[in-house]
A and B are shown apart, each in its own frame.
Chain A
Amino acid sequence: MPKTLSRWLPLALLTLAALALRTRDLAARPMHADEANQAVRAGELLETGRYAYDPRDHHGPLLYYGVLPVAWCRGQGTLAGLDEVTVRLVPALAGTACVLLLGLLAAPLGRWPSLAAAAFLAASPPAVYYSRYFIQETLLAASALAAFVCARQWLREGRARWAGAAGACLGLMLASKESAPLFALAAFAAFLLARAAGGPPLPGRPARGLLAGAAAAIAVTALFYSSFGAHPSGLRDLLGGYGQALARLRGANTGHEKPWWYFLRLFTWWRAGGLVFEEAGFAALVLAGFCAALARGTPLLRWAAAYSGLVLIALSAVPYKTPWHAVDLAPGFALLAAGAVAAPSRTRPGRWAASAAALAVLGMLAFQADRSARAYASDPRNPFAYVHSSPDVLRFRPMAEAALGRSPDGVIRVISEEYWPLPWYFRGLARVGYWDRPPADCDGALVIASADLAGAVRSRLRGAYAESYLGLRPGFVCVVFTPRP
């Protein structure tokens, strides 16, 4: 086998396996409210070409623009034509790229340990779950890994083009989410900490590279936040977006406050309603890798330990926590676990023991990843299925189509304090309206009311209706009023 092929084939196969894990049954899980929100915005961009950054919510523009090439490739040009597979392919491809990029980043650990790092990330339950989930986190992780790979190449070779590429990737990070500066700062601080214990010399003329990087980062950020020049005030709004993000992190009654050990629990042992989701073996390897990095680690391992430690401390310290932030920890943890596998591999018995441990952990990770991403994808006991929509949401669209079939001029009324992801499922249907309190006229071809508002809606209905129940998400039940013939 040619040397190049034997060198790259295992990583290529691993990347293909990661792609399969991330794309199998991609449309099966019901859309989460956040996914639906963002998919509707992406559909509007696709349909009208218009996008304006919203500093209050919905994060950066990269996710929405990322949908365009996938939709074009799949022949979709409108919101009504857009489907779950198209929007979810964006994070799925980014998540697959993460595996490839981590394999490249981990190269200094050696051939098999770098493959182990990529394999741990390929099978990581949070990485798999959120690679199938139309939110920004996986794009942020992929941009960050690409930035790290390019920055390392610049440090090794000193060529300004690598610094420029790292800067462009930093721009993509910033265009993903307002939390991106945290990870860039953590990476830089970790670099300084790792270098304090020694490392290769810095490239000559670093100012030139830094300037190239900064220019590329600013250019890419400006392009996306200004909607490619169409909405220049998006750049000003970005500052407001950082203010909003900081306020959210301070945890002022957001409803997402969690204890400091939340992420430790996610990566070790999570039991709810009789189900256990665990990564205890992987956590043990990460801890061993952390200790090995501190004791006598390579510069890369020391950097991974410092970066993961800083990010974990930062995410644990703020009260606002959502499980998708685990995606930001997974690559660093995978590097440390690979470091633990590499440490005893210098002797033959050690190599066997390390291989056995790595395979056992990998098998358990893959089992847990598939279980959480498919069998229990929207189950409220799954720690990654966070305030997730119920499978019942898939029943609303057929009911609405039947209602409009019975009365084509009728109105579908959604009267509820919360109604996402229904606007996604009702995309393309004419005459659907949304109210957060009952209007004076509640009658319609189909009336969907939250259980809390159903009494008020019922009292305002003039026609005769049959009533049934459908769930929006666990604990949130809707009453569906269907006109009696």
Chain B
Amino acid sequence: MKLARMLRPVCALLPLALAAAAAEDLVPLKIELPKPLFVGTPRPIKVSNLEPQQAGNPAPLLVPAGTALLSRNKPVTASDSLPVIGELAFVTDGDKSGVEGSYVELGPGLQWVQIDLGAAHKLAAMAVWHFHAEARVYHAVVVQVSDDPAFKAGVTTLFNNDDANADGLGKGSDFAYIETYRGRVIDARGATARYVRLYSNGNTSDELNHYTEVEVYGSP
């Protein structure tokens, strides 16, 4: 009885709806879509650097007074311990030029680099340069800090743009970005940790992972 009472208004409106549809003679909208044009061999893109997304300098990140660079020449380990191109030491050597000999290339797919700051510090910010010789975007970039070198306990995620959980570290909501000479500045939000680990999962140009420089700032 209750169900019949609920359906009564619907039954009353149904003939009206059908009549309206018949009166307007509704049909699915057909959109003619343009077909692809056949073209010749694409031209090589010749860019030394590219900054297509933003004009002017971004607003600087505000950090506590006395913040210093903690990562210069600190030891670096990685998921790919024998890179084909470059050395892991390039990650913290201060050379951000982006030219050949200034970056390390890790293998295809998910890879990470890890910086040992030597002791736990209160962290203020990080700046990351993957590869900025051309316009490209690194996939599934995740930055975490911890006091555990294995990153199994006490892990804090500072940045995560892995919206499909490709890295298996959980989905992130930070934005992906096109690499430029400005690098990417990440707010460390005062986290305290000894180790910094950065993940990526290939990029829009190839399946490899590159690091030109990583800088970690905080209280000395």
By a beta-carbon cutoff of 8 Å, the part of chain A in contact with chain B is: 33-34, 37, 40-41, 54, 57-58, 254-256, 273-275, 322, 378-380, 386-387, 390-392, 409, 411, 418-420, 422-423, 431-436, 451-452, 466-471, 473-477
Contact B137 A477 (CB under 8 A): yes
- Complex: A274 Cα to B39 Cα, angstroms: 32
With beta carbons under 8 angstroms apart, the residue of B33, B47, B205 that contacts A471 is B205
Q: How many residues of B contact A (CB 8 A)?
A: 40
Asked, given contacts A434-B34, A434-B36, whether A256 binds B41 with beta carbons under 8 Å apart, the answer is: yes
Minimal Cβ-Cβ distance residue in B for A54? B38
Beta-carbon contacts of B77-108 to A below 8 Å, as 1s and 0s? 00000001110000000000000110001000
B137 neighbours in A (Cβ, 8 Å): 469, 471, 477
From the candidates A40, A379, A468, name the one contacting B176 in the complex (CB within 8 A). A468
Shortest CB-to-CB span from B130 to chain A, Å, is 13
B8 contacts chain A at the CB level, 8 A cutoff: no
Which residues on the B side are within 8 Å of A378 (C-beta)? 206
Residues A474 and B45 in contact, CB atoms below 8 Å apart = yes
For A474, list chain B residues within 8 Å (CB). 45, 134, 136, 205-206
A391 contacts B136, C-beta separation under 8 Å: no
* Contact of B42 with A by CB under 8 A: yes
> Which residues does chain A contribute within 8 Å of B38, judged by CB atoms?
37, 40-41, 54, 57-58
Q: Which residues of A contact B135 (CB under 8 A)?
A: 451, 475-477
B148 CB within 8 Å of chain A: no
| A387 B41 Cβ-Cβ under 8 A | yes
CA–CA, A466 and B36, complex, Å: 25
Question: In whole angstroms, how far apart are the Cα atoms of A467 and B174 in the complex?
Answer: 11
From known contacts A475-B135, A475-B136, A477-B204, infer whether A420 and B39 are also in contact, taking CB-CB under 8 Å.
yes
Chain A residue with Cβ nearest B163: A468
List, in ascending order, chain B residues with CB within 8 A of A476's CB. Answer: 45, 135
Q: How far is the CB of B214 from chain A (nearest CB, A)?
A: 19
Cβ proximity bits B16-40 to A, threshold 8 Å, 1 near / 0 not: 0000000000001001011111111
Residues of B within 8 A of A379 (CB): 206
- B35: chain A residues at CB < 8 Å are 433-434
B58 within 8 A of A: no
CA distance A469 to B205 in the complex (A): 11
The closest CB in chain B to the CB of A36 belongs to B36
Let me know if B202 is at the binding interface, CB within 8 A. yes
Query: Contact at A37–B39, with CB atoms within 8 Å?
Result: yes
Nearest-neighbour CB distance to chain B for A96, whole angstroms, equals 25
Contact of A469 among B41, B43, B176 (CB under 8 A): B176
Interchain CB contact under 8 A, A380 and B206: yes
Residue contact A418 to B42, C-beta cutoff 8 Å: yes
- Indicate whether A435 sits within 8 Å of B42 (C-beta atoms), given known contacts A274-B105, A380-B205, A473-B205: no
A255 engages B43 (CB within 8 Å) = yes
Q: Which residues of chain B have C-beta atoms less than 8 A from A54's C-beta?
A: 38
Q: Which residues of chain B are within 8 angstroms of A387 by Cβ–Cβ distance? A: 41-45
Closest chain A residue to B28, Cβ basis: A409
Q: How far is the CA of A389 from the CA of B31 in the complex (A)?
A: 30
Given contacts A391-B202, A392-B204, A469-B204, contact A411 B31 (CB under 8 A): yes
Query: B residues 40-57 with Cβ under 8 Å of A?
Result: 40-45, 47, 50, 52-53
In the bound complex, what is the Cα–Cα distance between A420 and B41 (angstroms)? 10
Q: CA–CA, A433 to B35, complex, Å?
A: 6
